[in-house]
Structure formats: structure tokens, C-alpha cells
Amino acid sequence: MISFLRSRFRAIAYAFEGWWHVLRTQRNTWVHSTLSIAVITLGFWLKLSPGDWAIIILTMAIVWAAEFFNTSLEALTDLIQPKEHPLAKISKDVSAAAVLITAVASILIGLLILGPPLLDKIRLMIEGSIF
């Protein structure tokens, strides 16, 4: 049992090493990080429902996973084909496109979930002010 637990802790440590590698080496992850923090902060301010939180969290996780898969595929492509090659370019471009698709979808989902309550709050703030 102890060896099983040690192997699980080692696996988690390796996962965090991978996470740190992506944060350290991929510029787009800083955009993802900033936007994730902004969305979470906005969600708390807007007092999202549990269902909305579930969708937001799932959406963010999909974007992050796509970025991690993209980084992994790029590293593997560079290992297999260190020189420029048309197929290596296709591999990298397609995996980058997958990240783009998830990012655009997350923006649309964010607008659908956060947009209406945000507009309501802004409207209430404007109506409550002296203009």
C-alpha cells in the first residue's frame, strides 16, 4: 500500500512538473492564466449559480487541456523531426488550431454566461448613480 501511495504522489509530482514547464515556456499560457483569473473573479462578483460555475470550469479546463496537448505534441514533433518538414508544420498548425477553437468557444460561452448578469449589474450601477 505504501509503494502504491508513493507512486501516486510521484505521478502527481510529474504532472506538476509538466504544468510548470508549460507555464514557464508557453507565452499563451499567461494569457490563459490572466483570463482565467479575470473570469473567476467576475464569476464571484456576479454570484454565478452552481450550474454556471460548472460550465465555466469545464470550459476553462478544456482550453487548458488543449494548450497542454498542443505543447506536448509540439515537443514530440520536434523530437521526431527536428528539421523543418511540411508534415511537422501541419502537425503543429493543426494542434494550435485546436487550441484556437477551444479558446473561441470559451469566449462565446463566457459571453453567454457572464454577459447578461454583467449587463444587469452595469445597468443597476448606472441607474443608481447621479447622472
Active site residue 74: no
**How many CB atoms neighbour CB 80 within 10 A?**
11
Nearest residue to 74 (alpha-carbon basis) of 98, 54, 108, 50: 98
Catalytic residue among 67, 74, 84, 127, which? Answer: 67
Q: Tell the residue number behind the cell numbers 448613480, with chain if given.
A: 129
- Mind telling me the catalytic residues? 67
